Amino acid sequence: MGFPQWLDIYEEAWADERAPAGRSCPECGRAELGLAFVRPASSSSGVMAALWCGACLHGVFLGNCSEPESGRIWSRDEARRAGLVPNYTVIPPV
Ligand SMILES: [Zn+2]
């Protein structure tokens, strides 16, 4: 359980934005994962990725990611306005 499993899911999702839909949460086992790429306001390098479980509200938050090949990159304001990313407990890297 924990960060490595989340990273596996993230790497799949990076290549195919629909991938999280078929994966279950490493914490609770439910298939309610969400993923969003957000461009930081103040940095020119990379994007941030939020990957979370909508059922137990755990997940990871990764900085300085490569931009995905497909899928939308949100600005922070857009993401906030859309209520895209819920408040979730961030699992720290190991
Ligand atoms: Zn969960």
Strands 33-39 and 47-53, by their bridges, are antiparallel
Predicted local confidence at residue 16, as pLDDT: 77
Q: How many domains, in total, are found in the chain?
A: 1
Per-residue pLDDT tens over the stretch 64-84: 888 887 778 999 889 999 999
Q: What pLDDT does residue 32 have?
A: 94
Q: Is the pTM of this model over 0.75?
A: yes
Q: Domain containing 51: what range? A: 3-90
**Tokens coding 42:** 């103040």
Query: What's the mean pLDDT in 47-60?
Result: 95
Q: How far is the CA of 28 from the centre of ligand 1 (A)?
A: 4
Who contacts 77 (Cβ-Cβ below 8 Å, separation ≥6)?
Answer: none
pLDDT band at 1 (very low <50, low <70, confident <90, very high): low
Ligand 1 centroid distance, CA of 42 (Å): 31
